[in-house]
Amino acid sequence: MRIFEAAAPPFMKNGFVVACEESADAVIIDPGDEVDALLRAIAAESLDVKAILLTHAHLDHVTGVARAKAALGAPVWLHRDDLFLYEGAEAQGRMFGLAVKPPPPPDRFYEPGMSVESGDLTVDVLHTPGHCPGGVCLAVGPRGSSERELFVGDTLFAGSIGRTDLPGGDYETLIRSIREVLLQFPDETVVHSGHGPETTIGAERRSNPFLTDV
Ligand SMILES: [Zn+2]
Ligand SMILES: [Zn+2]
């Protein structure tokens, strides 16, 4: 797998393009204000992006969806339980004093236990509510292999967890999602968070203060 990552002010939210090693098949994850850098990487590598995948619908993760969709023509995927946030993107922007155009409507909703296929890539969609109701983590790897890297949005960070004080957030639900879904992955699994550096499941299992039992 090849991974292209970018972030841009004001939110410094990480956006990703994940591409198959062999083919040009790719997906784009959470296009935000850094979308132009991601689109440049897609053009430079002649990647064929088959899906625009959203981990959740907070403003910082969706501000680049319209540009990504216009440039790539790929369907936008979202969890239905975050539709209220997605449709409220303009209102979220006003909270930050930002003029935000509403993103195009989602094309598809994730279903329980589903995977999204993009050529040689498989993306397992894991519902992990808590930071928001429709939060998902995306486990991406080559088709036919169990190798996965996790794109967790704002569910888990290196040394921290997502905030739970926004509409639809719930602390106990978030901790349960992390324990029952993410910590089931092997220690060496690489974790790409929506903000900050990457980490591994093992590092968070050992030292994340929200996850270690005292
Ligand atoms: Zn968020
Ligand atoms: Zn975020």
pLDDT of residue 214: 54
* pLDDT tens, position by position, 93-135: 999 999 999 999 999 999 999 999 998 899 999 999 999 999 9
Stretch 8-19: mean pLDDT: 96
Please determine, for residue 170, whether its predicted confidence score (pLDDT) is greater than 60: yes
- Nearby residues of 173 by Cβ (< 8 Å), 6 or more positions away: 129, 130, 164
Cα(206) to centroid of ligand 2, in Å? 24
Stretch 172-201: mean pLDDT: 98
Q: Is this prediction's pTM over 0.95?
A: yes
Cα(194) to centroid of ligand 1, in Å? 8
Tell me the ligand closest to 58's alpha carbon: 1
Cα(144) to centroid of ligand 2, in Å? 31
For residue 138, how many other CB atoms are within 10 A of its CB? 27
Tell me the ligand closest to 10's alpha carbon: 2
Mean pLDDT of the chain: 96
**Confidence label for 21 from pLDDT (cuts 50, 70 and 90):** confident
- Nearby residues of 100 by Cβ (< 8 Å), 6 or more positions away: 59, 63, 89, 90, 92, 93, 94
DSSP assignment of 84-100 equals: HHHHTHHHHHHHTT---
